[in-house]
Amino acid sequence: MLFLFCLFLQTEPNLVQSLKNEALANQPTFNSLTELCRVAPKRLSGSAGAEIAVQWAKAEMKALGLENVRLEAVQVPHWERGPVEALRFQDAKLAETFPLPVTALGGSVGTNGPLTAQVIEVQSFEELQKKAALAKGKFIFFNRAFDNTLANPFEAYSGAVNQRSRGAIEAAKVGAIGAIVRSMTNRLDDYPHTGAMRYDENIPQIPSLAVSTLGAERLSHLLKRDPNLKLEMELSCQTFPDTTSYNVVGELKGSQFPEQILVVGGHLDAWDLAQGAHDDGAGVCQSMHALGLLKKTGFIPKRTLRVVCFMNEENGLRGGRGYYEQHLAEMDRHVLAMESDRGGFTPRGFGTDASGPVMEAFRQIVAELSEIGADHIELGHGGADIGPMAKSGVIQVGYIPDAQRYFDFHHAATDTIDGVNPRELELGTVAMAAFLYRAAGLENLPKNPVTHESE
């Protein structure tokens, strides 16, 4: 008995211990992320930085010894912010005393010189409807804050983000000439947060920007004193023709069922205000190094692990959609997809759309991760880039780190490498690597029902 026990110890070193020791001793994910932030700090789709990031990711995968490393072309949008971004009170004294830090929302049209107008503040699209008769020729100021009573900041984000994504459409519908949106964050500070916004082809395109939360408070306060105050808005952003970019792909071949694929990824593109350290440099580096850690420690998975650094999650999702379309013929061999796109914070666990026996198997997998605090599992989804694969029944898994600080950094100038804790980041890689290794080794890993594959 004792002999068998020793034999077991000899032939099966502890998975989580081995991965953790390697990751925390050498910090491969953090070193990689530091390098990405240094060589391609600004990498919005279509930019020169995005192409540097693509070449960097390819070289990094090769350096890790991954197989079948390749670029897969996708057409992506190309929008540039431009040098002029301003919102100020028309009154010079007010403008000096009460600054309004702003940033254009991604995809916004420019103003073509300064626009001057009065402002209508609203908390919701319903309130805007009630004030529709007053809106013509004005700026609409969407000032609904995050609900800070919610424990999960992602729920607060969901409750506020339609102001950013649809604000310009709703404002233009009632004749407004510009949209001002309170930044999407729990914090009160003076960093504006950008993010994607949309237009409707049947509705005039008006410029749209985000103001810092403190700026929003100042503006709201002064509008209560004087509702007739005028603001000047100026943006020089513009959209260029679509351009070619790439998803970056590499593999760790499975030892027993190499034809069956588990995808893991994050998005390589990032907003241009900072370095995209948490969003989503952390996710792409964790995904690559999850495979790197397994290889280094000798844990070769039974099924193939394929890492994908997706392009263009932030303003188009062309990488996620393109991957799905280009690989439709082998979707039956894709069994699971995992995404890390919630920042490089302390691990908590995973969300998944799996059910029944697969969910039971996942529960047993995460139980092994209690030592690093990643033993939580909940019903949820995976991530935007892997989302299209759900149509083909590919099990979705989302890596979940602690969420409390994510929106301090999300899409703002604060998202730099100094905001990333190396140990928290590495433990996330360990959690992902261990989960993937165990899932790839499950005897039964049936997919979810296929919904509408051929769409």
In the complex with Zn ion, which residue's Cβ is closer, 85 or 341?
Answer: 341
Annotated active-site residue 313? The verdict is yes
Q: Please give the angle made by the CA atoms of 249, 255 and 259, to the nearest 5 degrees.
A: 55
Q: How far is the CB of 342 from Zn ion (least distance, A)?
A: 8
Q: Which is nearer to Zn ion, 299 or 310 (CB)?
A: 310
Nearer to Zn ion (CB atom), residue 341 or residue 424: 341
Residue 192's contacts (CB-CB under 8 Å, 6 or more residues apart) are 101, 102, 103, 183, 209, 210, 211, 212, 215, 412
Task: Report the sign of the C-alpha dihedral through residues 367, 373, 374, 377, in that order.
Answer: positive
Q: Does residue 162 come out as left (phi exceeding 0), alpha (psi in the -120 to 50 range) or beta?
A: alpha
User: Which residues fall within 8 angstroms of residue 232, CB to CB, at 6 or more apart?
Assistant: 86, 87, 88, 89, 90, 114, 115, 116
Q: Does 385 bind Zn ion (CB under 5 A)?
A: no
Output the smallest distance, CB 271 to Zn ion, in A. 9
Helix (H, G, I), strand (E, B) or coil at 348: strand
- Residue 294 Cβ, how far from Zn ion at the closest point, in Å? 24
Which of 60, 121, 170, 313 is flagged as catalytic? 313
| Residue 276 or 292 having the CB closest to Zn ion | 276
Residue 96 has, within 13 A of its CA and on its CB side, a CA count of 2
Asked if omega into 280 is within 30° of 0 (cis), the reply is: yes
> Which run of H or of E encompasses 295?
helix 282-297
Q: Which stretches within 303-396 are classed as H helix? A: 318-326, 356-367
Residue whose tokens read 């039964």? 444
Residues 84, 89, 91, 94, Cα dihedral to 10°: -110
Instruction: Give how many residues touch Zn ion by CB under 5 A.
Output: 3
CA–CA gap between residue 369 and residue 383 (Å, rounded): 21
Question: 154-159: which pairs have CB atoms within 8 A and are 24 or more residues apart?
Answer: 154/342, 154/403, 154/406, 156/186, 156/407, 157/184, 157/407, 157/410
Output 60 or 341, the one with its CB closest to Zn ion: 341
User: Which residue from 267, 275, 271 is spatially nearest to 416, judged by alpha carbons?
Assistant: 275
280 binds Zn ion (CB under 5 A): yes
Residue numbers 250-279 binding Zn ion by CB under 5 A: 279
Residue 68, φ and ψ in degrees, nearest 5: 50, 40
| Residues in 302-341 that interact with Zn ion by CB under 5 A | 341
Element (H, E) at 397: strand 395-401
101 versus 281: smaller Cβ distance to Zn ion: 281
Q: String of b and e for 114-151 (b: at least 16 CB within 10 Å)?
A: ebebebbbbeebeebeeeeeebeebbbbbbbbbeeeee
Question: Interaction with Zn ion in 174-203: which residues (CB under 5 A)?
Answer: none
Q: Is 14 left (phi over 0), alpha (psi -120 to 50) or beta?
A: beta
H helix count then E strand count, the chain: 14, 15
Footprint of Zn ion on this chain (CB under 5 A)? 279-280, 341
Tell me which residues are annotated as active site. Answer: 313
